[in-house]
Chains A and B, each alone.
Chain A
Amino acid sequence: MRRITYRDAIREALREAMQKDERVFLMGEDVGRYGGAYACSKGLLDEFGEERIRDTPLSESGFTGAGIGAALGGMRPIVEVMTVNFSLLCLDQIVNNAATLRHMSGGQFSVPVVIRMATGAGRQLAAQHSHSLENWYAHVPGLRVVAPATIADARGMLWSALEDPDPVIMFEHATLYNEEGDIAAEGPWAVDIDRAAVRREGKDATIITYGGSLPKALAAAQTLGEEGVSCEVIDLRTLRPLDTERILSSVANTHRAVIVDEGWRTGSLAGEISAQIMEGAFFELDAPVARVCTAETPIPYARHLEAAALPSVDAIIAAVRRTLRR
């Protein structure tokens, strides 16, 4: 075992992918000389050169579209859109081109591109730099959406994403980059991105979450466990397609579900999961499904206000208690 950060894990994964497959290249704003806005690609320019660690102008639609085109042309591009906030500038390329090409060509073309972006709030970056729009992408057929929440997934998921012949959007929660954890000294690192992971087993309630909310869910489960309430924590890992089977089977055991999602509540992924539970496990429910989401406000700057807007450990604990009707 060795101790590394989430950022190190991403960097290792990038390096491994570049080494393993010469069709792989990384492009995005400041991925080269700057070393990546989150320092994920630091040092890679020296190792792989400007062709494969390609700095781009501030042209999200242009270079994301170019990544999609290069994938069509036989490459395995990794496009880094600095943050989900800027991805709105390339929404057209992702939704209108990447997601549709296979279908509208009658299966003739596929787009094996991986588009990485940082997501989430929690660092007092205010309304324009704190979005959690994972669900916007998870809404779109033709895309796969993944969210590594652990060091091991950060290490392994990129390669699994590159092996997918269809476009994959990978969300890295910005608060996770400094997280440290133990991982095995050596691979294999492959992650089954078709399946959600049970991060903690339990029998009284299921907490379903992903990405940056996983540490909060685990902390809540820990506190509740000390009180004798046993929570199962499911890390979705893949937000599209959802591992509905895993969600339903857990809820069938615990009869209670709490969904933690940093997206805004209205139209959230949490809403979708809640509907799936209603459709597939209604008669197993012993309490209404509870959602812990972000308050319906642009994310405020002031620290206490931002904290009040986001899902918190306390809010998760309260939601679990509510489902237990205690």
Chain B
Amino acid sequence: MREAYDRVDLTTEHMRDLAHQMILIRRFEEKCAELYSAEKIRGFLHLYIGEEANAVGVMQALKPDDNIVATYREHGHALARGLPATEVMAEMYGKASGSSRGRGGSMHICSAAHRFYGGFAIVGGGLPLAVGLALADKMRGNDRVTCCFFGEGAAAEGEFHESLNLAALWKLPVLFVCENNGYAMGTALERSESETDICRHAQSYQIPAAAVDGMDVLAVEEAARDATEKIRASEGPFFLENRTYRFRAHSMFDAELYRAKEEVAEWEKRGPLVQFKRWTIENDFLSDDDYAMIEQDVAVIVNDAVAFAEDAPWEAEEDLLKDVTTPAAAVL
């Protein structure tokens, strides 16, 4: 981490808040892995562990009225956006109290109230949607940014290029956030892209782009604040490439044959939590006691989320077809 950061509110309170969010995501997901092994959570479970600084950092720059489009690795984004851990956990259980009433699961956490349009699980599929949300805002005169998260694997998809082109062509308020963790599932970036500098793709569409250390939450926050400021100034879209790393497997059932353990260990040394903890203690923002308190608070939240999900009811099977289309009564 660096010695100084622009645009970041360097106060104990803010540091405590960032630490709390990242630790919550970490502990929440560690619990998810445990629950997955116990068959409480099923389907695909893609953990964000190692990448927490990205969601937490970017969210600092977003306002409650902004839109978010995320991927299937979106627990961290949902929690950082403020969705209750209880509802996110219940969704993973498939319960009726889940954020999508058990219809979405881990990959499709949604919340209209948080303008969190959901986890989209087809790589690249969320980008055109983000363009459309931004188009609607531009046409309606809303001062709003649509933030679209995706991985570097999406850069190989046609929808990535179509969306960047459209957003630039129509000067739409989209913040594209590429969380480049180096691997599209198991395929390393250099094995799938002729141009490994993702920012250059964006630049070729005349979109201003910046690469940032995705393991440094303050750097991410700083970059995101800079980007959203430019977008809000009606300069069109902005492209952020967050260079990051996932510590866990792609999904739960992954032997990780494609990367060396040493590589993972090397990145873990620069983990977003360890770096941030060291930095905040060294710079006298937080103490070991503060971290112990945060861990305690987080443990309560995670335990409550699990208890909530355990106790939550199942959706009635009679309601299977509910919400496939809008019920006639709801049509105005």
Contacts and interface: CB of A to CB of B under 8 A. Distances in A.
A contacts B directly (C-beta below 8 A)? yes
Contact of B133 (A57, A73, A92, A107): A73
B104 interface: yes
Given A56-B166, A103-B103, A69 B135 contact: yes
B99 interface: yes
Interface stretch (A58-66, A249-257, A286-294): A58-66
A106 B162 contact: no
A65 B132 contact: yes
A105 B139 contact: no
With most chain B CB atoms within 10 A of its CB, the pick from A59, A65, A75 is A65
Most A Cβ at <10 Å: residue of B111, B130, B136: B136
B209 interface: no
A91 to B, nearest CB: 11
B98 interface: yes
Contacts of A107: 101, 322-323
Contacts of B159: 61-62, 65, 92-93
B325 A25 contact: no
B326 A69 contact: no
A96 B122 contact: yes
B117 A109 contact: yes
A189 B257 CA distance: 62
A276 interface: no
A59 B323 CA distance: 30
A72 B132 contact: yes
Contact of B125 (A74, A89, A96, A141): A96
B101 A68 contact: no
Nearest to A95: B122
Contacts of A103: 103, 323-324
Contacts of B325: 102, 141-142, 144, 166
A73 B127 CA distance: 14
Nearest to A98: B129
B162 A69 contact: no
A211 to B, nearest CB: 22
Nearest to B172: A66
B140 A74 contact: yes
Contact of B128 (A57, A66, A77, A141): A66
Interface in B114-130: 117-118, 120, 122, 125, 127-130
B103 A106 contact: yes
Contacts of B140: 23, 73-75
A21 B137 CA distance: 16
B108 interface: yes
B128 A106 contact: no
Contacts of A166: 325-326
A106 B125 contact: no
Interface string A70-82: 1111110100000
A73 B324 contact: no
Interface in A92-123: 92-93, 96-97, 101-110
Interface residues of A, number: 44
A33 B169 CA distance: 17
Contacts of A181: none
A323 to B, nearest CB: 34
Nearest to B321: A141
B316 interface: no
Interface string B76-102: 000000000000000000000011111
A65 B131 contact: yes
Interface string B135-172: 11101100000000000000000110011011001000
Contacts of A56: 166
A93 B104 contact: no
A108 B101 CA distance: 10
Contact of A69 (B111, B133, B169): B133
B331 interface: yes
B299 to A, nearest CB: 28
Interface string A18-40: 00000101000000000000000
A104 B128 contact: no
Given A107-B322, A142-B325, A66 B125 contact: no
B330 interface: yes
- Max chain A C-beta neighbours (<10 A), residue from B130, B159, B169: B159
Contacts of B117: 72, 109
A193 to B, nearest CB: 12
Given A62-B131, A64-B128, A110-B326, A70 B103 contact: no
Nearest to A76: B136
A163 interface: yes
A165 B330 contact: yes
B224 interface: no
B136 A142 contact: no
Interface in B179-213: none
28 contacts: A51-B139, A57-B162, A57-B165, A61-B158, A61-B162, A62-B127, A62-B162, A62-B166, A63-B162, A68-B129, A69-B129, A69-B132, A70-B133, A72-B117, A75-B135, A92-B122, A92-B159, A93-B159, A96-B122, A97-B122, A101-B118, A102-B323, A103-B103, A104-B104, A105-B108, A106-B100, A107-B322, A108-B111
Closest 4 CB pairs of A and B: A69-B132, A65-B128, A73-B136, A62-B162
Given A106-B99, A106-B323, 5 more contacts: A59-B166, A92-B159, A97-B125, A102-B326, A105-B100
